[in-house]
Structure 1
Amino acid sequence: MKKKERIQKDKFEKSAEDINSKTAVLPVQDKCPAQNIDDYQCTGHLEADFLEVTALLGMSEIPTVTPRPSGALSPAIRKGIRGEIEVVSKMATEIQTHGSWSPKRQLLVELESEDPRSVKAIKVFGWKVDEVMTKALNKILPSLHNLQTIHFWQADLTPHILLCLKTLLPLCCNLRTVVLEGNPMAENSYHLLMSEDSNIAHLSLRHNQIGEEGARLIGSALSTIHSANKNLVSLNLAFNSMGDAGARHIAWGLRLNRSLLCLSLANNHVGDAGAAILAEILSPFPLTHEEIVERRRLKIERDQSPTQDLVTDRPLSVPSSSSVEQSVSKAAKVPVKKKEKASGSQIGSGKKEEPKLAKKPSETKAQRSRQKPVAKDRPPSVVDSEDKNNSGQSKSADGGDVGSPLLDPGVQHIGGEIIMPGNTALTSLNLSGNLLTEKSMQLFYSSLQTQSDGGGLLRLCLSKNCFPSDCESFLKIQELMTHRDPLNKSSATQAEEGHGPAE
């Protein structure tokens, strides 16, 4: 009987272990399925999470998730936004030649490795992203810790969806590239993605019919006298309808922006008037009245902050009870020690105490004489304060955290105007396919001459405009750019190294 009971107990324990092992493998949702989307916990597996979340949202037609390894989605993705633009352009030409195109509703997913949780890019091509789909993405995307790129092409986006994207982007820790192309909006809400606290580094807004008003909002998002975007590195605004007025707004946004490196205004109907403003901000330009007022206010705040720090360092506040007790105890202990020493000296030899007493007045005089220069240094002169302010300016300039470009130490007073150094942070400017003439070429060449080799434009694309190919200013610009382009320099050095052994 005992053997049979032991055998039954062993069988029961094994079956219980098997059940526990199976349930341990299952996710939390299988153990107790979520009743709504708020209770669901994403696992980072995009395909599984997408099926669960869309089912909880009651989506009738669920798009298929098409994961592919890195490079299989398109080789051009590794080349950045420029390669993706080429792919989208090919798709657009196919639509124009073959008529309407109705693609399958699918999420094109690029994986960095074979792990399904290594999602690197998500793309939606040619189908509408509605509010239900936006809720699903808002729930899933923050769990994709490797996500770097989102690409919506002809997804019929709305301002509400853009607001959802704005709140979603900070939750995705590694998401830096956003491509929203072929999504025209009458509200011109794309500037919402370029706020001062936005983490987007690369933004492409091609084929969105952005006009003058949209360009004004984007220019204000780049910079104003009170704020500036500090994270956006590249901005692609090609194939819109900005014109000269839109280019003027973008140029005004570049006056106080020092983070944008690459800008494309290709095929935007920009003429000589818009190009003149763009060329002006590349070279030293005078500040406006509003900018001068803001500069003075910032200088006052900067000059007051060191004095406030010095005042706070001095013990002008009322001492606390603990500090008072410590000082009293110290004062009480010092005379006792002196008395003990004095009594000891009288017992031993009383003559030794007299030279000590004779030295004390001289020591106090020396200490007072030493303290006199310190008292003189307390009220600093105007010259000393200006020197300190100038040294603080140089330190901030060397540290690279000047704050506002209006406090640039290179600002000069010339002819009754305050001249500010031009924007030398912008390294690439694309103005191809516009309406520029020889007049614009002369302006750009004169602006490029003012820029030093240490900063300024390294690439300036001016092809497919309204000037002849043998334009003298254009040829000078090309020659100047060949010396600045780092790719040309690297190729030249490689050629020299290659010819070196042969010689």
Structure 2
Amino acid sequence: MGKKGERGAKDKNAALEEEARNAAKRAEHGEEEYQCTGILEQDFLEICTRAGFQEIPKVIVRPHAHAGITAVDEPDPQAEKEVTNTLAQIQSKYNYFRPSIQVELEHEDPKTTREIFIQSWKIEEKMLTVLAKCLPALSHLQTLRLWKVGLTDLTFSMLLSIFPTCTTLKTLVLEGNPLPERSFYKLISEETNLVHLSLRNNDIDDEAAYLIGQALSSLKSSNKTLASINLSCNHITDVGATHIANGLRLNRSLLSLSLAHNRIGDEGALKIAEILAPFALTHVEVVERRRLLLEKETLERSRLPQRHVELKSERPSSHVSNTAIDKLQTVKTTKDTKKKKDKESAKKEKEKEKEEKEKGQGSGGAVVVSSTTSQAKKEDTKEAKQAKKGVERPAAEQKPSRGKGTKSSNKDKRAQAVEVEVAEPTEIVNPLLEQAEHRDGKVFLPGNRVLIYLNLIRNRITEMGLKGFLAAVEQQTSRVAPGGKGSTGLLRLSLGKNNYPAESKTYARIQELMMARDPLPKVTKAMEEEAAVAF
């Protein structure tokens, strides 16, 4: 170990020993651990003081856009020759380059820190322990930007452990921090829950690209949180681009990918273009697809009998029993009323016959009796029929209504069953279970139609690579993804500043197709190139 290495190790040990002594002193005096208030300036100053920092970086509000050094450093024209203004100018320059933490507030409230910018000063282990206490207390923190802060593999792992405690953090910009162990892939995990990630200018090579591709998706897992990743200004070649393309085969969450300013040629470009159109599955993927289909089929079979039993148990038995009781009661009432009326009519006939016998003697009387009895019988039979109709008609009218009721109840049950199926939580479908096509003994998936922005400016792509992208764009334009549910495919494709002729018809055709798909307002070519460089 050299003298510088020994000196650095001694300084670290001295700092750790000093921190331990400060902690021991606080314990002796009975000082409690500091509870963060959510105001970064106050919390950061207090924790740094307790940790024994001699020089504490200031927390300042970040100046607005276009208010950089020139706006601050411009001297008054009338006092250019004054020495005091010159000294103030020099002092402001040095103050600007001193370590500081710049913040953006949401509502000009110190408790609403939305973004944190740290740039051009080295963050060591001791400072990360301070940030590990301050950052989780910021309930509005959404973005953390670290530019050239001298991260090592050790400090990166410490930083990585902070992210799960920052529940609102969605955007991480980590630029100008190359890592020897290529650990950037650890940021693409379920523990971080990052949505936007920028890794520009980090010397990412093909090995690091392989790890990132594996983190995006593999045969057994796929990232479901990351929406955009910026890998521009790195050292990715065709090999690394192939690894990234393999990661996009089964990834259905990434919307934006930038590979600008790399070393990607036609081979890598064709691999990326291949997964944007229908592509054939490999043997391993076909085997995994069959396993997943078998799993799905057995799961559906196990659910079917259970649902059938549930539907039977949901049938309202009280409704059926009530209708049966009503039917029996109507039949019983009609029979009882008929018997009573028959008895009453027979009794009346006997009474009338007795009266006629007592009053009239002779044959005429007999004729009269017979006529009256026949008329009475007719009237009784009419009344009985009317009574029967009057009682039985409602029951008859209820029959078709019962039939309709049962049909409607069956429809209701079917609707309930459908509602139950829809109400179940929808799981993210594995891309291997997407609707596939079988051609020439191979299985083809529709391709990745979730990616909507792809940036490949300033690479080494020639006319051959452009033809691959043209075929992919034509496929996405002409075919609708089966069951895509809004997956439209590429909306923006940037291929400028590559190794194809300026009068390339293939590039012109790609531009023509993408112009119709681009939802953003049309911009000039110069503005587009400037935006791509800034991105």
TM interval, short-chain normalised: 0.5 to 0.7
Aligned counterpart, 2:90: none
Q: Distance in 2 between matches of 1:244 and 1:167?
A: 33
Alpha carbons 1:69, 1:111 under 8 Å: kept:
no
**Inter-CA distance 199–73: structure 2 relative to 1 (3 Å threshold):** farther
**Inter-CA distance 127–402: structure 2 relative to 1 (3 Å threshold):** closer
Aligned counterpart, 2:34: 40
Amino acid at match of 1:469: A
Q: Distance in 2 between matches of 1:290 and 1:130?
A: 45
Q: Distance in 1 between matches of 2:518 and 2:202?
A: 31
Is 1:404 the counterpart of 2:430? The answer is: yes
Q: Give the counterpart of 2:512 among 476, 479, 482.
A: 479
Amino acid at match of 2:123: V
Aligned counterpart, 2:59: 65
- 1:148-167 equivalent positions in 2, closer than 5 A: 148-167=142-161
Is 1:426 the counterpart of 2:451? The answer is: yes
Aligned counterpart, 1:413: 438
Is 1:460 the counterpart of 2:454? The answer is: no
Q: Distance in 2 between matches of 1:210 and 1:250?
A: 12
**Inter-CA distance 399–476: structure 2 relative to 1 (3 Å threshold):** farther
- The TM-score, its normalising length taken from structure 1, stands at 0.67
Offset, 1:167: 3.0
Offset, 1:254: 0.4
Aligned counterpart, 1:205: 199
Alpha carbons 1:70, 1:111 under 8 Å: kept:
no
Q: Distance in 2 between matches of 1:167 and 1:73?
A: 35
Secondary structure in 2 matching 1:292: helix
Q: Distance in 1 between matches of 2:113 and 2:278?
A: 45
Amino acid at match of 2:463: E
Q: CA RMSD in A?
A: 3.9
Alpha carbons 2:153, 2:180 under 8 Å: kept:
no
Amino acid at match of 1:472: K
Amino acid at match of 2:302: Q
Q: Give the counterpart of 1:253 among 240, 247, 253.
A: 247
Amino acid at match of 1:467: Y
Q: Distance in 1 between matches of 2:179 and 2:298?
A: 46
Q: Give the counterpart of 1:469 among 499, 502, 508.
A: 502
**Inter-CA distance 73–138: structure 2 relative to 1 (3 Å threshold):** farther
Alpha carbons 2:278, 2:444 under 8 Å: kept:
yes
Deviations 1:404-429 (A, max 9, x none): 111112x1111100001111111111
Is 1:187 the counterpart of 2:185? The answer is: no
Alpha carbons 1:425, 1:456 under 8 Å: kept:
yes
Q: Distance in 2 between matches of 1:198 and 1:237?
A: 18
Identity rate of aligned residues, in percent?
45
- 1:235-254 equivalent positions in 2, closer than 5 A: 235-254=229-248
Aligned counterpart, 2:136: 142
Q: Distance in 2 between matches of 1:170 and 1:305?
A: 34
Alpha carbons 2:228, 2:257 under 8 Å: kept:
yes
Is 1:132 the counterpart of 2:158? The answer is: no
Alpha carbons 1:197, 1:229 under 8 Å: kept:
no
- 1:322-333 equivalent positions in 2, closer than 5 A: none
Deviations 1:138-190 (A, max 9, x none): 11111111111100111111233333333322322321110000000110000
Alpha carbons 1:69, 1:113 under 8 Å: kept:
no
Offset, 1:469: 0.9
Secondary structure in 1 matching 2:249: coil
**Inter-CA distance 312–159: structure 2 relative to 1 (3 Å threshold):** farther
Q: Give the counterpart of 2:294 among 300, 319, 322.
A: 300
Offset, 1:441: 1.0
Structure 1 range deviating more: 299-308 or 54-63: 54-63
Aligned counterpart, 1:447: 472
Offset, 1:257: 0.7
Alpha carbons 1:483, 1:489 under 8 Å: kept:
no
Q: Distance in 1 between matches of 2:426 and 2:279?
A: 22
Q: Distance in 2 between matches of 1:35 and 1:292?
A: 63
Q: Give the counterpart of 1:436 among 461, 466, 470.
A: 461
Alpha carbons 1:148, 1:174 under 8 Å: kept:
yes
Q: Distance in 1 between matches of 2:30 and 2:39?
A: 17
Deviations 1:455-494 (A, max 9, x none): 1111111111111110110111111111111124799xxx
- 1:46-61 equivalent positions in 2, closer than 5 A: 46-61=40-55
- The TM-score, its normalising length taken from structure 2, stands at 0.63
Aligned counterpart, 2:227: 233
5+ residue gaps, structure 1, are: 1-32, 75-100, 317-340, 353-369, 371-390, 492-503
**Inter-CA distance 240–68: structure 2 relative to 1 (3 Å threshold):** closer
Q: Distance in 2 between matches of 1:231 and 1:251?
A: 18
Q: Give the counterpart of 1:178 among 158, 172, 179.
A: 172
Amino acid at match of 1:471: S
Alpha carbons 1:291, 1:406 under 8 Å: kept:
yes
Q: Distance in 1 between matches of 2:67 and 2:296?
A: 52
**Inter-CA distance 400–284: structure 2 relative to 1 (3 Å threshold):** farther
Deviations 1:96-154 (A, max 9, x none): xxxxx993111111112221111111111111111111111111111111111100111
Compare CA radii of gyration and give the structure with the larger one: 2
Offset, 1:70: 6.6
**Inter-CA distance 216–102: structure 2 relative to 1 (3 Å threshold):** farther
Q: Distance in 2 between matches of 1:489 and 1:404?
A: 36
Q: Distance in 1 between matches of 2:270 and 2:291?
A: 30
Offset, 1:400: 7.0
**Inter-CA distance 73–421: structure 2 relative to 1 (3 Å threshold):** farther
